[in-house]
Amino acid sequence: MQFSAFATAVAGSVLLAGIASTGYSQGKGANPPEMVCRAAFGVASMMEEDGERFSNAESDWATAITSEAELAACERPPKSLLLRSHAMLYDDGNPDTRSIAEQVADYLKKSTAPDKRFGWVMPLMNGVYGKPYGRTALYWLEHAAEIGDPQAVYELGGMYRMGGFHIPKDQQKAVALERQAAELGSAISMYALGVRYLNGDQVARDTKQGLAYMTKAAEYGYEEAPFMLATLYDDGGRGTTYGIRPNARKAKQYALVAAEAGNVDAMMLYVSMLLRDPKSLRHEDEVFYWLDRAVASGDAKANEIIAQVGPRLRANYREANEARNAAKKARRDEILDGLFKVCPTETRCTTFRDQYGNVAWKTCGDFRNYARCE
């Protein structure tokens, strides 16, 4: 990118020097929007000096500024430049630069929808803005959690659960944040709490509460929850560990939901349920449909079953269907054969009596006696 002559004059200066050279410092009555412009422009100058690549938006914004007046009255600096300037100022820990960083952060908060701010956390952590900015990432994570972003609340809880990254390990704080996130609608938090209550992890073990959270996580669309519920309700599954009574209907229902969501283990579990069904002969097409889907998903076990057992399974289905069809035909032939035989007619009567044993009424009818057909 080629800067204008004005931009080139300040390119190569460090960010703070770029701000200071224009007469701005902490608490001197600087207009925050103008300070924001200068911070963003200082970052663009450093990027130019370091030979970093610019996005089209960054390039268009920076090259359009050719004078002090334009810099002072700039509009809508790209978010990427603002985030980088905030990170550079905030992460160095200097109280003077923190004050400027807060002004940039205030502008970012005012100009960005609340549900978008958590999205800045991972890019800041992963070095998308030049290098990793851990303190700034934590700043935005805590801010997003404070304003009620459920994913941010859950992730912050995860940091307290693991400890590190400028946060002390605090299991009770982690549980409290998971509960808060679940109340805000975080499905993964509901799942995590379900696992906690089932295992008694930092909470009193409560199977009923664990199932309730797990069921809610499934209702909210967390993909792991239906598979977990299927294994908990399956006969002989992990539910026996928690004293959960097997429920074939629920197990099959949740296994199918998880399979349809793409969970390969759920596909194989659902196949095993179909094969265990007393009416399994009716499920041939469904069994091979899910086996084929599991193979297509790269599941080695499904591929092995198809290769080793598939032909025998097909043969079993074929033989069973042939036997069933033969039985149906025999029964049909027996009925049809009876229609063409001469069978005697017998009169049969039924007598109805009242409570005193007296005959109340009597009804009679003629019936064919198929046992005596000739």
What pLDDT shows up at residue 361? 72
Closest by alpha carbon to 104, among 93, 90, 94? 90
Mean pLDDT score of the chain:
82
Nearest 5°: phi and psi at 61? -70, -45
Lowest-pLDDT range of 224-228, 251-255, 273-277, 340-344:
340-344
CA-to-CA distance for 203 and 1, rounded, in angstroms?
57
Contact 2, 63 (CB under 8 A): yes
3-state secondary structure of 365: strand
Strand partners, 352: 361
DSSP state of 164: B
CA-to-CA distance for 261 and 273, rounded, in angstroms?
18
What pLDDT shows up at residue 26? 38
What pLDDT shows up at residue 3? 45
Per-residue pLDDT of 346-361, as tens digits, reads 887 877 777 777 777 7
Question: Could you tell me the residue ranges of all domains in the chain?
Answer: 1-147, 247-324, 343-374
What pLDDT shows up at residue 212? 96
Q: Is the pLDDT confidence value at 121 over 90?
A: yes
Contact 342, 318 (CB under 8 A): no
CA-to-CA distance for 148 and 184, rounded, in angstroms?
7
End-to-end CA distance of the chain: 105
DSSP H or E stretch at residue 138? helix 134-146
Place of tokens 């200071």: 20
What pLDDT shows up at residue 174? 95
Comparing 254 with 298, which gets the higher pLDDT?
254
What pLDDT shows up at residue 34? 82
Helices (H), ranges, 170-263: 171-183, 187-199, 207-219, 224-233, 248-260
**pLDDT band at residue 319, thresholds of 50, 70 and 90?**
low
Burial code (b: 16+ CB inside 10 Å, e: under 16) for 343-352 equals eeeeeeeeee
Closest by alpha carbon to 215, among 199, 201, 232, 200? 232
**Two structure tokens written together for 106:** 């205030």
CA-to-CA distance for 208 and 96, rounded, in angstroms?
54
**What Å distances lie between residue 116 and 79, 149, 187, CA to CA?**
12, 9, 19
**What Å distances lie between residue 286 and 87, 163, 258, 330, CA to CA?**
55, 47, 15, 28
Residues 6+ apart with CB under 8 A from 279: none
Tallying the residues shown for the chain, one arrives at: 374
**Two structure tokens written together for 105:** 């952060």
Q: What is the pTM for the complete model shown?
A: 0.71
Per-residue pLDDT of 263-281, as tens digits, reads 999 998 998 898 888 777 6
Per-residue pLDDT of 38-97, as tens digits, reads 888 888 888 888 888 888 988 888 888 877 777 777 888 899 999 999 999 998 878 878
What pLDDT shows up at residue 244? 92
**Two structure tokens written together for 295:** 């193979």
Task: State the sign of the Cα–Cα–Cα–Cα dihedral 282, 286, 292, 294.
Answer: negative
**Two structure tokens written together for 224:** 């792991």
Closest by alpha carbon to 11, among 45, 60, 62, 50? 45
Contact 252, 270 (CB under 8 A): yes
